[in-house]
Amino acid sequence: MRRGGADGLAFETIVASGPNSAKPHHEPGERVIRAGDAVVIDFGPCSRVRSDMTRTFCVGGPPQGELARIFEVGPRQQAEGVAAVMPGVAAKDVDDVCRKSSPSRLG
């Protein structure tokens, strides 16, 4: 990030695995990453503005079970949300579009 011109970090980098990967602001702990875990890495540079990038990976092969459903639905939710963004649209309405196909609502 510094080679790209960043002055520093926008916030402390977050790495969370397994059940902690669902916590948006997880803090470091003693949990050991295991095969099958989702691992979330959230970081960002700070220059004139603060940026944020989050990536989620599955350790030890493709996601299984409910985690596989989440990995399938996430990109679709993101694409639908991006398509809903336009002048005059409230942020809540974009959020509603993203949540309509939430894995917890797929049955």
CA dihedral sign, ordered 9, 3, 54, 87: positive
d(CA 107, CA 98): 17
107 has pLDDT over 60: no
Claim: this prediction has a pTM higher than 0.75:
no
Three-state SS for 29? coil
**b/e code 2-27 from CB counts within 10 Å (16+ = b):** eeeebeeebeeebebbeebbeeeebe
Could you say which DSSP state residue 22 is in? Answer: G
7 has pLDDT over 70: yes
pLDDT per position as a tens digit, 43-102 = 999 988 889 989 999 999 999 988 898 888 888 899 999 999 999 999 999 999 988 866
d(CA 10, CA 49): 8
**99: CB partners within 8 A, 6+ apart:** 77, 105
Three-state SS for 40? strand
Q: What is the pLDDT of residue 100?
A: 83
